[in-house]
């Protein structure tokens, strides 16, 4: 069991080391990339099943007792996130075989991808707040290099904005950790949940919660801290944009949910109204920004922001149903958003441009109707059209809001869904339906789309459909994960044991 819980970190680490040693062979790096990420999917599913059957899994490094030592703590929410990260990583590795040029691959693209996955999985598994910071830095370093890899001017501009804001976030995060340790003398999140619950230093606790909210809010791209994302995510190769869009902001969302369920429970008088306001504004500003864009990936980048608002909404509503809705929304969104960026890369190959105002060389629908259909599935899911996964994710959050009378934020959520549909239909009309203004008999030089780029797109689209048709059972999984998140006592007892768990 201990080995299984740490394999999501050890496997990418080993793959990164092996790929680096074989840096002269691009073929070997590609094979290792596909095999290692596919193995990570298997390992993560096995870990999920173990947690589902046996409850929270705790691994203590060096067999040091908690809270003295560092622990990996795998509950259902963490296990779900690792499964989603592994699926996205495997799709990215296969897509990158032909979707990333040989020059970038020769500069250790695949090792960097493995290091990114290692940092993401480590963040989802750690039970120590300082080590959460460490894993954030691991994924930040690899993501910064991936963003700048290629040394193109727009990439460097995007990378500078990306790294500057994220370094500010890291500084705030580290400051909050320092105050936390200086005040309470521990960094173990289970131990902190006990000590924070019993302290009378409410001013310090409130200050710390806001520092963590700002630090994680920058990484999650919530309002008003999101402007770095649409300025950078459209600049790297499409495979890099896809894994960034699918995973990186979700690590920030994961951290917000983890901290505000385990350490700083939602305060109805202060935290809840603040989070509701931030969720509503994140949804609105993101979708309005998307409506004003005319570049494929910039539209999708702004939609990342708007969809983060839905995930924050479930936490802000602070009911078991709403929190389950947030978990289910994350499950849906990671797959859908990564796939949309993959499809943007296919459309760019066919059209020769990502500018929606340019007619391109040929209509995507005319040249590749299957790819156009595959775009339609995640696009409509993102907009919340039944029976796809996005419809059920939004339905749960809307119902949770109506149950407690939050009419204003529910109205915003429904309005944003309509505007999302508008953006997706704009992309469909301009990039997939319209063709060039020229004679139909004129020969067209269109780049062929490799099967290794089509296969991950088709698989992710199939997952979106399956999640929609199996929404009931999968929402049951999300509900059980939400129940675990709300049971702070069970988490503390699993990590610290009955005696330590009962001690303030």
Tell me how far apart the alpha carbons of residues 60 and 63 are, in angstroms, rounded to a whole number: 5
pTM of the shown model: 0.94
Can you list the residues of the chain whose pLDDT is less than 70?
1, 435-447, 498-504
Structural tokens at position 437: 């203004």
Given a contact cutoff of 8 angstroms between Cβ atoms, the answer to whether 269 and 202 are in contact is no
- Token pair 């890899």 is found at 149
Phi, psi of 332 (to 5 degrees): -70, -45
| Secondary structure of residue 300 in the 3-state scheme | helix
How many angstroms separate the CA atoms of 11 and 220, rounded? Answer: 26
Domains of the chain by residue range: 3-434+449-496
What pLDDT sits at residue 450? 87
Can you tell me the distance from the alpha carbon of 154 to that of 106, in angstroms, rounded to the nearest whole number? 21
pLDDT at 437: 52
Residue 197 burial class via C-beta count within 10 angstroms: exposed 0-12, middle 13-18, buried 19 and up: middle
Instruction: Tell me if 347 sits within 8 A of 375, measured CB to CB.
Output: yes
CA distance 404 to 133: 35
For residue 10 the two structure tokens come to 């050890």
pLDDT at residue 439, rounded to an integer: 45
pLDDT at 443: 44
Q: Which residues contact 410 (CB under 8 A, 6 or more apart)?
A: 398, 401, 402
């Amino acid at each position: 069991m201990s080995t299984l819980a740490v394999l999501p970190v050890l496997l990418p680490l080993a793959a990164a080391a092996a790929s680096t040693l074989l840096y002269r062979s691009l073929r070997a790096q590609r094979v290792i990339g596909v095999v290692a990420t596919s193995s990570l999917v298997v390992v993560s599913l096995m870990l999920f099943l173990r947690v589902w059957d046996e409850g929270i899994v705790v691994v203590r490094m060096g067999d040091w007792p908690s809270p003295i030592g560092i622990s990996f703590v795998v509950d259902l929410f963490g296990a779900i996130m690792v499964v989603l990260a592994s699926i996205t990583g495997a799709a990215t590795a296969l897509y990158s075989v032909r979707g990333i040029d040989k020059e970038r691959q020769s500069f250790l693209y695949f090792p960097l991808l493995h290091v990114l996955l290692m940092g993401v999985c480590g963040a989802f598994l750690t039970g120590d707040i300082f080590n959460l910071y460490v894993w954030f830095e691991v994924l930040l370093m690899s993501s910064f290099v991936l963003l700048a890899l290629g040394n193109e001017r727009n990439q460097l501009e995007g990378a500078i904005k990306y790294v500057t804001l994220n370094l500010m976030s890291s500084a705030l995060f580290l400051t909050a950790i320092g105050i936390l340790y200086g005040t309470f003398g521990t960094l173990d999140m289970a131990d902190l949940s006990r000590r924070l619950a019993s302290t009378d230093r409410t001013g310090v606790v409130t200050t710390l919660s806001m520092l963590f909210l700002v630090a994680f809010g920058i990484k999650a791209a919530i309002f008003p801290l999101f402007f770095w994302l649409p300025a950078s995510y459209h600049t790297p190769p499409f495979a890099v944009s896809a894994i960034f869009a699918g995973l990186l902001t979700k690590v920030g969302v994961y951290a917000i949910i983890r901290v505000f369920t385990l350490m700083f429970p939602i305060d109805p008088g202060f935290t809840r109204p603040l989070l509701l306001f931030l969720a509503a504004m994140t949804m609105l500003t993101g979708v309005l920004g998307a409506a004003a864009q005319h570049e494929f990936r910039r539209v999708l980048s702004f939609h990342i922001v708007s969809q983060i608002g839905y995930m924050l909404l479930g936490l802000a509503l602070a009911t078991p149903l709403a929190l389950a809705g947030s978990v289910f929304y994350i499950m849906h969104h990671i797959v859908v958003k990564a796939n949309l960026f993959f499809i943007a890369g296919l459309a760019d190959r066919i059209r020769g441009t990502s500018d929606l105002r340019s007619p391109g060389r040929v209509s995507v629908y005319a040249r590749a109707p299957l790819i156009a259909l595959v775009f339609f599935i995640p696009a409509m899911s993102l907009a919340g059209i039944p029976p796809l996964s996005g419809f059920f994710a939004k339905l749960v959050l809307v119902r949770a809001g109506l149950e407690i009378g939050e009419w204003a934020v529910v109205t915003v959520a429904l309005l944003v869904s309509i505007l999302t549909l508008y953006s997706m239909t704009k992309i469909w009309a301009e990039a997939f339906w319209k063709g060039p203004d020229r004679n139909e008999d004129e020969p067209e030089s269109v780049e062929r789309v490799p099967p290794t780029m089509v296969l991950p797109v088709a698989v992710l689209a199939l997952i979106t459909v399956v999640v929609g048709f199996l929404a009931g059972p999968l929402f049951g999984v999300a509900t059980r994960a939400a129940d675990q998140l709300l049971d702070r006592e069970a988490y503390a007892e699993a990590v610290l044991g009955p005696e330590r768990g009962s001690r303030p």
